[in-house]
Amino acid sequence: MGAAHTNTYPLLGEERLTDELGAWLGGHRWNHFVTLTYHYSARGDRQFYRWIRRLEQLAGRSVQFAMFSELTTAGFLHHHALVFGTGGLPANILRESWTSGRSDVQVYDPERGASHYICKRYGKDELAFPNLSAQMPPTA
């Protein structure tokens, strides 16, 4: 018999899938690793998509992303994301463009494990499922 599954999330708790997803994401080129936290108990991704549109305006090109949401210990929604198309923008511009709460923006370094970190909750709770742009960045 296989591992126990829930009806809602059939892959719940599958660590192997988290590792594979992190490795797949790591095989793409990214410019920045970001954590975006809301000031208030928001639910949904509308502000994230508005932020992506602002970045596209600032960068003058489309921006690709891989984003996962989770709750802080205080119950506030936050997103971990990798973004591509922002290479010409300094991190402080991305940081200041997020107006819905706190932001942490770092230049992406494939050696630091961000591609695995953003999906660490994948399959462990209902928010932590991949939210990917329609087009992914080039492979590394």
How many angstroms separate the CA atoms of 136 and 86, rounded? 14
131's tokens: 């939210």
CA distances from 115 to 43, 47, 61, 70 (A): 23, 22, 23, 15
Residue 41 has pLDDT above 80, yes or no: no
pLDDT tens column, 93-140: 999 999 999 999 999 999 999 999 999 888 777 777 788 999 999 998
Query: What pLDDT, on a 0 to 100 scale, did the predictor assign at position 7?
Result: 35
Domain ranges in the chain are 27-132
- pLDDT-derived band of residue 43, with 50, 70 and 90 as boundaries? low
pTM: predicted TM-score of the whole model, two decimal places: 0.84
**Is pLDDT larger for residue 79 or for residue 39?**
79
Contact in structure between 105 and 65 (CB atoms under 8 Å): no
Query: Does 3.90.950.20 match the CATH number of domain 27-132?
Result: no
Give the rounded percent of residues in the chain with a pLDDT score beyond 90: 60
Residue 14's pLDDT band, with cuts at 50, 70 and 90, is low
Q: Which residues pair with 65 in a beta bridge?
A: 83
The mean pLDDT of the chain is: 86
* Local structure of residue 36 (DSSP, 8 states): E
The pLDDT value recorded for residue 88 is: 97
